[in-house]
Chains A and B, each alone.
Chain A
Amino acid sequence: MIEPNLTEFGTVLIFILGAITFVSVGLIAASIIRPKKPNYEKLTTYESGEETIGTAWGQFNIKFYIVAIIFLLFEVEIIYLFPWAVIFGDQELIQGTDYTWAWFAITEMFIFIFILALGLAYAWRKGYLDWVKPVNRVSDFKSPIPAEAYQKYKD
């Protein structure tokens, strides 16, 4: 390698630290040259000119949580896929055990993935995956384009 005095993770560390330093240096530099004249109007929250009502920190559509939960499970399953993926097809092991290893590993993982897919199927079937669709109100505006022309873009 080019930097023999660094471990591989050292390099990674350099990238991370470097990024941080770059940003902070930039910020400092900017703070030197940039003006600072705050006033109330400037510091209000932007809502296209409307007066903000209340705070934004409230509850969300439950769907967000559900997506989060499903993601969590899948991501965690992928943890197991990675170690398996790098070893199951290993030439020495497969030839050393004349394919017993390969078939064993693959069967195991297929069962695993099958159950995983079953979970997805469950979420799908029970309708946890379909997002609330916006109701489309037909406006009274008479446009030259016939309404059904839009139809194929909706849903």
Chain B
Amino acid sequence: MLLQSNMALGLKEQIQGISADIAWLAPEITLVITAVLLLIYDLIFKENKSVGLAAIAFVGMAFSLALLIAGWGNVEGDRMLMGGMLRLDGAAIYLRALFSIGGMIGLVMMLRCKQKEKFFKSSETLLLFFGLVLGTFLMTMSINFLMVYVAIELVSICSYVLTGLFKSKRNSEAAMKYLLFGAVASAVMIYGMSWLYGFTGTLDFTSTAFAEGISQVAILPLSLALIMTIGGFVFKLGAFPFHIWSPDVYEASPTPIVAIFSSLPKLAALAILFRFVANLDITIIDWQIWLGIIAIASMTVGNFSALWQKDVKRMLAYSSIAHAGFLLVGVLAFSESGSTSALFYGSIYLLMNFGAFFLVQLFENNEGKTSFDVFKGMGSKVPYLGVLLLIVMISLTGLPPMAGFNAKLYIFSSLWESWQTVDSSILIWVLIFGLLNTVVSLFFYLKIPYYMFFKTREEVENPVIGSLTDKILGTILVAPLLLLFFKSDWLLNVLNSINFAL
């Protein structure tokens, strides 16, 4: 009773504050409402709901995007939401905007997919899709272990179901593998979090109490707990020790879903990782060793296993593992430039990835499979799409004149910088390995152009690949890659106006 009565004191203000915060969460709320509307629409109508569902989905996503762009201007500095559960800053808004753009592209891909009724016949897929996007939104903002956990699990569970939703043997297998790995990872993460909570007495890992708390703990238990916790993030990032699920999942799931999987959760996890390590003193534990090892391992493992893949989606899966490694490089630079360049890399990566999957899907639509043979001799049949795909692949490799090169340049520049300041030899190894991996990656990225332009095949006279709409969409996706090479400062200036939690 006593407890409650003095709880009542600040309560009213607290409540009013929270109610005020809701305005800032308008995009998330939009997503939720959209999902609910989708479900209700699905429940009300019996037959041919595709059009309505698609319309609702697009409008909702577009609206949240609009809200974010509107909110871009009027966010002053940081802002704690929901009683310190969420932290709204420029990075969060930027990433969420990026994600909703990604969501839009994902929806477009679903529309352009051959068996689109798979997505729009009934509301489940879209519902889960929105849940996933919502989860990534929350991930970008959460600074509280509880929130992080809930957000990550929201994303994960939606992903599991999305993987297993479609009626095929491979789907179910992939879903199960995904789920088991994911569940183990999150269990490990939770256990680590519980220890950190014990050490510090707070769940808010950006608070000073947290930083002080862990500075008093013995090195061994602390590093154990931290590694466990970070393991969970790394799983969502799809980096080395927890990457095993991704190839199977990518191969089995429909392409639009894969495109989402491979970009949004990764970047969201990156954001969490940034916010998490930002508050940790490097002097306590040498982060750069651990993260560096993870980064090197992801890049190397990803690239080398990508070499002998026969399926394009599988290959892209491994490449995404490698890219996770590159993103980690930005983290272990532990500098403002590191975070900026990582954001830059992430944005470019998102574009490249969606471009790649979109174009691959066009070919998949034609033949129903994604093995490399699909591309045989297509260079002469559909030269335009061929060139687009070539651009994307070069950009993924990270060669000029594509934005992928700038991304690599900046991220490794920041690494170099922090190496100059910190001078721990792991960094230079990361630098060397990372750049040499570019050479390795050339092998499999060039495989597609190789099959398209060098190989020839007779049986297909004039395949129906890519309507004019597809060509236009593809151009819209690919053009930024060229543009941002020549004027990368446009994006960078935007990113500079963001202050990350560093």
Contact = CB atoms under 8 A, between A and B. Distances in A.
B39 A122 contact: yes
Interface in B1-45: 1, 4-5, 7-9, 11-12, 15-16, 18-19, 36, 39-40, 43
Contacts of A122: 39, 43
Interface in A79-111: 90, 92-93, 96-98, 100-101, 104
Interface residues of B, number: 16
A101 B4 contact: no
B43 A93 contact: no
A39 to B, nearest CB: 47
Contacts of B18: 104
Contacts of B9: 96
Given A118-B39, A125-B43, A97 B1 contact: no
Contacts of B1: 92
A17 interface: no
- Among A97, A104, A115, A121: residue with most chain B CB under 10 A: A97
Contact of B8 (A92, A104, A115, A121): A92
A92 B4 contact: yes
Contacts of A96: 5, 8-9, 11-12
Interface SS of chain B: helix
Nearest to B1: A92
B40 A93 contact: no
Nearest to B40: A118
Interface string B368-393: 00000000000000000000000000
B43 A97 contact: no
Contacts of B8: 92-93, 96-97, 101
Interface SS of chain A: helix
Contacts of A98: 12
Interface string A52-92: 00000000000000000000000000000000000000101
B123 to A, nearest CB: 9
Chain A interface residue number, banded: 10 to 19
A104 B43 contact: no
A122 B40 CA distance: 9
A104 B19 contact: yes
A102 to B, nearest CB: 10
B363 to A, nearest CB: 35
B36 A115 contact: yes
Contacts of A92: 1, 4-5, 8
A92 B8 CA distance: 7
Given A92-B4, A92-B5, A93-B11, A100 B39 contact: no
A130 to B, nearest CB: 15
Nearest to B43: A125
B40 A101 contact: no
A28 B19 CA distance: 64
A98 to B, nearest CB: 8
Contact of B11 (A97, A115, A118, A121): A97
Nearest to B5: A92
A13 B15 CA distance: 41
B12 A100 contact: yes
A96 B16 CA distance: 14
Given A115-B36, A118-B39, A122-B43, A100 B4 contact: no
Contacts of B36: 115, 118
A121 B16 CA distance: 33
A93 B10 CA distance: 10
A121 B43 CA distance: 8
Given A115-B36, A118-B36, A118-B39, A93 B15 contact: no
A42 to B, nearest CB: 44
Interface in B212-265: none
A100 B43 contact: no
Contacts of B11: 93, 96-97, 100-101
A101 B15 contact: yes
A97 B12 contact: yes
Contacts of A104: 15, 18-19
A90 B11 CA distance: 13
Interface string A21-49: 00000000000000000000000000000
Please list the 9 inter-chain residue pairs (A to B) with the smallest Cβ-Cβ separation, ordered nearest first: A96-B8, A97-B12, A125-B43, A92-B5, A104-B15, A93-B8, A97-B11, A100-B12, A100-B15
11 contacts: A92-B1, A96-B11, A96-B12, A97-B15, A98-B12, A101-B15, A104-B15, A118-B36, A121-B43, A122-B39, A122-B43
Interface of A: 90, 92-93, 96-98, 100-101, 104, 115, 118, 121-122, 125
Given A97-B8, A100-B15, 11 more contacts: A90-B4, A93-B4, A93-B11, A96-B11, A97-B15, A101-B8, A101-B11, A104-B18, A104-B19, A118-B40, A125-B43
